[in-house]
Structure 1
């Protein structure tokens, strides 16, 4: 007969394990010496020790669900209760009890976290509804429309609430969007009507301007052209597809008249030449604002230059496209700088970029912990596989961080 502190083998080859309730039969051994029998069942005990250790690490370092963790605990507990091993079974039971308490504690934490997330989602959706209802009254049609579309994307990214609450909030949200769309549609319908009225009014102005273009009554006709220009500005804009054509005809008729008058009055040529010189100087002054480094200062400076520009009279007809084109190029550059600044400071885009970066950082950190756990458990194959996944996530994170830097964040 052979024995050790936790078990023994009797003369019949029956193996026993010692417990607080007394000896329990482990099994029968006929294949070798009693010492080999004890060694075999002690190795099985060590296997359970390792299995419990690995489960403890999984519970501590991974997102193993409470349900799966509890099932794993019960599986091992069943093996302990079957006492087919030789060793300190009470110690294993104590570790399993402690592990079960840890799992239950984490279950409660996750339950609380889920409740907190639900409260946060409710608050976020209520905030979206409030903002949508405010935007529904806006007349900043483009900006408000874009913001409402952004709010829809944000809504889609939030978790669902209980069905009743979610449906009620969505109904308010959807109603606000519909109200805005209805107001915007009515506004543009009215605008279309106004532009049609403007088109008709400008066609009448064009007809009169073309009828006057061959007049030699220089003073009266020039005065009438000034009145027609005032009427043109007061008429408002026609539809885009008509506005440019009408303007070209209107301006062309004036050009015919004023070119003829210039031929009669030589001094006008000198005046227009001087005007061209002044406008070229102003164009050069405006061009010095580029490249735009201080948007606010550039905008104000260009406005001041443009006011002086508008105060200057006509320039020679053949020189007008070039000098006006220089000013228009500066104006376009400032507008592009404004658009770039708006995109750079867009809070929704920055928030999305920051949110994506945060998610990727969490994923990278989580993978690193899993790799460490796998290495510690001796599972190099799993660690190598996770390392390859980490490389991909890290590359995405580097890309996201680069994009976030472009927002200045």
Structure 2
């Protein structure tokens, strides 16, 4: 309930029309006589005359420790009604004191606000145009003073503790801010600074000097971080723009290699381009994925074509491998120089002619096949060496004859290759030249044998 204003209290000797009991507004439940009387809590006597009286002219007086004083008149009212009217005003004051006491007790009003209310009530009681034990009501109001002083002391302690906690929290936040400012967490750091700033604003202020110093450190750390972050992203943007230029050049080079059929060197060139791509670093985010998609598509085009060709070659090589294995299986039993040197030699020459007509085989099959051919060659060579030692002229003649035949065969194959090229048959020309290379290898061995005889 609020305090009564001075306009609510009639001056002594005045008789406001609104003070007539018959015209007064109906009391609210909170200010009903029963509630007001209960709120007075014994502050007024059950007999109004014990604290007031009505003079013959209708003036109502209240008795105080300093004597009597007039509080007003109630026209057209009996003395009892006049006293009752002014005791109700006392009950209203008593209710305000009771409400203030209750709020102070349950902590719903702060010490400063309670002091202001008590001061206003103190003045109202001293000047009240009411009938009741005003002295007791004043004493009851004054009894709140030590309670308020205790609450004020507690409030000061809480404030001091809150300020100390706020200072500690701000010092911790400043330390974290300075650590963030010295670090390189450019993405998480900015979010953390926002959170720290919100936390800072939620904390109470501490003493101005300390608060200003801590805020200066926090603000400086935040500014330093922001400046370094902007510089970092500026440098990063520059580097990414340079990376974009490098990658666009790489793509242009890759496009020139996409249709190449020089599989080995071109595959190596693509590996080098990939190394340069990785070394270039990321381009701007909005273009990096698009650049990679273009570069990857070019690589896929080349390697897809290469793999298709290799698959085709591998199928051909597997067929050649099978043919050579069958040829070996046919001629290995025929090359028995210990039993028939001449027949074995003829069989081996025939074998070599047919062998040279077969193309390449898979890489993993080359060594096993060559080992079987060399085994036949070694067995024949071993017996021939023994025979040459036994019949040198004939052996030399045979060696010379073999070398001559090999030369003739090479010449025939070269001529065959030239004719094939002339008519546009690249495959036949390729096979003829590969066979010629094989015969050259054998020619070197034959010529070495001739030289050995000469030695």
Please tell me the TM-score bracket, short chain as reference: 0.5 to 0.7
Tell me the alpha carbon deviations over residues 121-175 of structure 1, each in whole angstroms, 9 at most, x when there is no partner.
2222222111100001221210112111221222222233333322221211121
Would the alpha carbon gap of residues 267 and 178 (structure 1) be closer, same or farther in structure 2, given more than 3 Å must change?
farther
Please say if residues 244 and 288 of structure 2, whose CA atoms lie closer than 8 Å, have aligned partners that are also in contact. yes
User: Deviation of residue 31 (structure 1)?
Assistant: 5.3
Please say if residues 61 and 69 of structure 2, whose CA atoms lie closer than 8 Å, have aligned partners that are also in contact. yes
| 3-state SS, counterpart of residue 265 of structure 1 | helix
Match for residue 309 of structure 2 among 246, 257, 264:
264
Counterpart of 2:351 in structure 1 is none
Match for residue 170 of structure 2 among 120, 125, 136:
125
User: Deviation of residue 79 (structure 1)?
Assistant: 4.3
Unaligned runs of 5+ in 1: 271-409
Q: Distance in 2 between matches of 1:43 and 1:128?
A: 59
Q: Give yes or no for the alignment of 1:209 onto 2:260.
A: no
Q: Give yes or no for the alignment of 1:148 onto 2:198.
A: no
TM-score (norm 1): 0.55
Please say if residues 26 and 85 of structure 1, whose CA atoms lie closer than 8 Å, have aligned partners that are also in contact. no
Q: Distance in 1 between matches of 2:314 and 2:293?
A: 23
| 3-state SS, counterpart of residue 187 of structure 2 | helix
Match for residue 24 of structure 1 among 53, 68, 81:
68
Q: Distance in 2 between matches of 1:267 and 1:244?
A: 34
| 3-state SS, counterpart of residue 283 of structure 2 | coil
Would the alpha carbon gap of residues 241 and 86 (structure 1) be closer, same or farther in structure 2, given more than 3 Å must change?
closer
User: Deviation of residue 187 (structure 1)?
Assistant: 2.6
Q: Distance in 2 between matches of 1:22 and 1:199?
A: 98
Q: Distance in 2 between matches of 1:86 and 1:242?
A: 90
Match for residue 104 of structure 1 among 132, 145, 149:
149
Match for residue 198 of structure 1 among 243, 247, 252:
243
Counterpart of 1:253 in structure 2 is 298
Tell me the alpha carbon deviations over residues 9-60 of structure 1, each in whole angstroms, 9 at most, x when there is no partner.
57776756555x4752445768555444544443333333223223323444
In the TM superposition, what are the counterparts of 1:382-397 in structure 2 within 5 Å?
A: none
| 3-state SS, counterpart of residue 143 of structure 2 | helix
Please say if residues 3 and 9 of structure 1, whose CA atoms lie closer than 8 Å, have aligned partners that are also in contact. no
Match for residue 164 of structure 1 among 209, 224, 231:
209
| 3-state SS, counterpart of residue 24 of structure 1 | strand
| 3-state SS, counterpart of residue 68 of structure 2 | strand
Would the alpha carbon gap of residues 269 and 206 (structure 1) be closer, same or farther in structure 2, given more than 3 Å must change?
farther
Q: Distance in 2 between matches of 1:143 and 1:174?
A: 18
Higher-RCO chain (CA-CA 8 Å, sequence separation at least 6): 1
TM-score (norm 2): 0.50
Please say if residues 16 and 27 of structure 1, whose CA atoms lie closer than 8 Å, have aligned partners that are also in contact. yes
| 3-state SS, counterpart of residue 144 of structure 1 | helix
Unaligned runs of 5+ in 2: 1-46, 316-455
- Number of equivalent positions: 268
Please say if residues 225 and 254 of structure 1, whose CA atoms lie closer than 8 Å, have aligned partners that are also in contact. yes
Counterpart of 1:92 in structure 2 is 137
Q: Distance in 2 between matches of 1:55 and 1:242?
A: 72
Larger of the two Rg values belongs to structure: 2
Counterpart of 1:339 in structure 2 is none
Q: Give yes or no for the alignment of 1:77 onto 2:122.
A: yes
